[in-house]
Amino acid sequence: MFGRAIAAACMVASPMLCGLSPAAGSSTQSGIAAIYSYRGGKTASGETSRPDGLTAAHRTLPFGTMVRVTNRRNGRSVVVRVNDRGPYGRGRVIDVTPAAAGRLGFSGLTPVSLDIVER
């Protein structure tokens, strides 16, 4: 019982520490998104990198978290799965694959907002 309570508290506290509300669908983190990709390398989660996948790198969200990324310039959004760590550039909150960037309608950098869809 005690172990479950600690695990539940950690799941609630972790998003708060990274600037995201624990409530799914609440947009509380914004910043800059960038495109990243390297074919065939390993991500921090151990998966093989796939530039054509809808995945992303985030500094603190747990692997497997589904995040809606919305391009604040054009309103387009895509749901990606966190499977890597980063970005480490100043002001950047997420790195997305070229496939996700294509759906968002940007190349290079763009301002975005992030919503947790599912853990």
pLDDT digit string, tens, across residues 75-107:
999 999 999 999 988 899 999 999 999 999 999
Report the alpha-carbon distance of residue 60 to residue 8 in Å, rounded: 17
| H or E element, residue 103 | helix 98-104
Question: pTM of the predicted model, to two decimals?
Answer: 0.77
For residue 53, the one-letter residue type is: G
CA distance 107 to 98: 8
In the chain, the domains with their CATH numbers are 2-118 (2.40.40.10)
Is 67 within 8 Å of 56 (Cβ atoms)? yes
Give the other-Cβ count within 10 Å of 20's Cβ. 22
104, 78 Cβ separation under 8 angstroms? yes
Name the stretches of the chain with pLDDT < 50: 1-25, 27
